Structure 1
Amino acid sequence: MDEQPKILTIVNEPTVAPVDLLARAQFFAGLTRLQLQRIAAISVIHTYDKDAHIYRTGEIAQHLYVLAQGMVRFAVGLGGRDNPGSDILHRHEVFGWAAMTPSDNIRIANATCLTPCTVLAINGRELIGLMEQDQPMGYQIMKQLVGLITGTFTASVAG
């Protein structure tokens, strides 16, 4: 299991506990504080420089991400290039849902930092395990996941 992050240092919010970041993400709405603490315990903080790739199309997906600080360009990859209908992700948004598809967890998009970024990286395999142990939590997350995946493909098709 990953070591639990204690505090994120964020511009204009010098101390934010990972559980509080999760609570601010709409994706995790409806979960209890205890459920959020369990998710925080399988998460780590990653920081990236401007123009860094958080992940690229074709990579194995290990983490689901919550953007704590910065802006990320999220673009579904088509034939080795980005779809022109990319999204700009902001603080508290969740991305990287391929980590939640264990039978085929290959990235279908590129996530690139437009600014320096801080993310909370949640271990996808361990999150699935938590969801199996706590089925009400699993149901809440799956409802959100369906919306996230549908939104990704709707934006991609709309271009």
Structure 2
Amino acid sequence: MIALDDLKKIEFFADLTDEELLSLQEICREETHRAGEFIFIEDTPAEHLYVLKNGKISVEIKVTGGTHLSVLTVSQFAEPFGWSAIVEPFRFTASARCVEDSTIISVDSRRLMGLIRMDYRMGFLIMRRVAKVVSERVKNTRLQLIHSFYG
């Protein structure tokens, strides 16, 4: 089980009350993955939301010829990834591969969605954080596209 103090340090959950964090704590687990290992694969069912504890993760998309293109590096403590697990159609839009040995916090998305359905305040706060993450990633992608076309 993840320590409550560890959950309190995660910005993604910063607005939650201690009671909400205790509910969340029950559906989280810590995982370790080796460098080169995939945590999830693009276009597969998204059953967990992830938060980086330590290490480095490459978020990659499939391109022609079966190769993968890294579109994002997750390397900061408490950085979330795998948000597709709580947004329909609940399928990963990219793959996540460990660049180095990594420790992550895995949140069971079905159980999280159950908590969100029971506690609208918690749901609003979490989905607001998801919207912020998605917005930042769209902005970064836009900047990458501009840079690739205009140097």
Q: Which residue of 1 aligns with 2:139?
A: 154
Is residue 2:108 matched to residue 1:140? no
Deviations 1:83-115 (A, max 9, x none): 4542333211111100001x3111111211111
Counterpart secondary structure, 1:72: strand
Distance 1:32 1:77, change over 3 A: farther
Is residue 2:98 matched to residue 1:98? no
**Aligned mates of 1:76, 1:149 — CA distance in 2:** 16
Is residue 2:58 matched to residue 1:73? yes
The range that moved more, 145-154 or 117-126, is: 145-154
Higher helix proportion (structure 1 or 2): 2
Contact kept, 8 Å, 2:54 with 2:77, in 1: the verdict is yes
Counterpart secondary structure, 1:155: helix
Deviations 1:130-149 (A, max 9, x none): 01111111111111011111
Letter in 1 for 2:117: E
Structure 2: tracts of 5 or more residues without a match: 145-151
Contact kept, 8 Å, 1:57 with 1:109, in 2: the verdict is yes
Contact kept, 8 Å, 1:76 with 1:156, in 2: the verdict is no
TM-score between both structures, scaled by the size of structure 2: 0.84
**Aligned mates of 1:139, 1:57 — CA distance in 2:** 27
Is residue 2:98 matched to residue 1:107? no
Is residue 2:39 matched to residue 1:54? yes
Letter in 2 for 1:128: M
TM-score between both structures, scaled by the size of structure 1: 0.80
Q: Which residue of 2 aligns with 1:10?
A: none
Counterpart secondary structure, 1:71: strand
Counting matched residue pairs gives: 143
Give the alignment's Cα RMSD to 1 decimal: 1.8
Structure 1: tracts of 5 or more residues without a match: 8-16
Distance 1:73 1:33, change over 3 A: same
The range that moved more, 149-158 or 64-73, is: 149-158
**Structure 1 ranges of 4+ moved more than 6 A:** none
**Greater Rg, structure 1 or structure 2?**
2
**Aligned mates of 1:34, 1:153 — CA distance in 2:** 33
**Aligned mates of 2:126, 2:68 — CA distance in 1:** 28
Is residue 2:15 matched to residue 1:35? no
Q: What is the Cα deviation at residue 51 of structure 1?
A: 1.3
